[in-house]
Amino acid sequence: MYSDKQLAIMETAETLFAEKGFNGTSVRDIAEKAQVNLAMISYYFGSKEKLLEALFQYRGEASKMTIESIIESPGISAMEKVYLLVDNFMDKLMGQQCFHRIMAREQVLNNAPVITALILDMKKRNLELIEKLIREGQENGEFRANVDIPMMMTTMIGTAHHLVTTKHYYRELSGVQQLGEAEFEMFIRAKLASHLKSLFKAMLKYEI
């Protein structure tokens, strides 16, 4: 469990890492923006590298807990749980764009073994939970057999990340230049969630 001060430092670092890159951000930059002294960051985290690790651990654990709560929700079908997972993913993606930018960059660079291991562990834990949900749907007859779950998740993550990171092009291509930034964010969130739910229904149901 992190204190409010630790969370404030991590959130500040998250913003700076997304804007300037990990190597382009100094501990002094973080301390100044978070309005804390350098010694406090050292006391709480030890180093900039450990701070980044803490950020990934924090976001990863929060994601795991949310997925678990959705899967364990009583009284709703497996397909409805899948739709809730899509909505949750979209909320995280749109609400935590800085973290997802950092995560995408770290996966491409692949030059920090500890972070690479944390990302892989996060993906494995989430995949195990999704597999549990898909098996539930298969056992009760909702979903077909032989679902490629890793490819299904790659489809969601890849499609969503591409749209969010290239949304300025999508704004032009879809002819919604008149929308303000907040309206446009709502527009692409709704469009993308609807698109992903349709894809997942096609992948999981017998009628394909």
Q: Is the pLDDT of residue 149 over 60?
A: yes
One domain, residues 41 and 89: no
Q: Is the pLDDT of residue 208 over 70?
A: no
One domain, residues 62 and 143: yes
**Which range, of 17-21, 89-93, 101-105, 204-208, averages the lowest pLDDT?**
204-208
One domain, residues 33 and 94: no
**CATH code for the domain of 5:** 1.10.10.60
pTM of the predicted model as reported, rounded to 2 decimal places: 0.87
Q: At what angle do helices 181-204 and 78-95 cross, to 10 degrees?
A: 150
One domain, residues 31 and 113: no
Phi, psi for residue 147 in degrees, rounded to 5: -85, 130
Position 52 confidence tier, pLDDT thresholds 50, 70, 90: very high
Contact 102, 14 (CB under 8 A): yes
Quick one: what percent of the chain has pLDDT higher than 90? Answer: 78
pLDDT of residue 93: 87
Mean pLDDT, residues 135-162: 92
One domain, residues 106 and 26: no
- The candidate with the shortest Cα–Cα distance to 164, out of 185, 180, 179, is 185
One domain, residues 148 and 76: yes
One domain, residues 68 and 35: no
What is the C-alpha separation between 183 and 197, in angstroms, rounded?
Answer: 21
Q: What is the CA angle 120-121-122, rounded to 5?
A: 90
Per-residue pLDDT of 180-202, as tens digits, reads 999 999 999 999 999 999 999 99
Q: Is the pLDDT of residue 164 over 90?
A: no
pLDDT of residue 145: 92
One domain, residues 73 and 162: yes
Burial (CB < 10 A; 0-12, 13-18, 19+), residue 156, is buried
Range of 157's domain? 55-204
Quick one: what percent of the chain has pLDDT higher than 70? Answer: 99
Which tokens sit at 128? 């195990």
One domain, residues 88 and 9: no
pLDDT of residue 207: 54
One domain, residues 107 and 196: yes
One domain, residues 82 and 182: yes
One domain, residues 104 and 172: yes
Report the domain count for the chain.
2
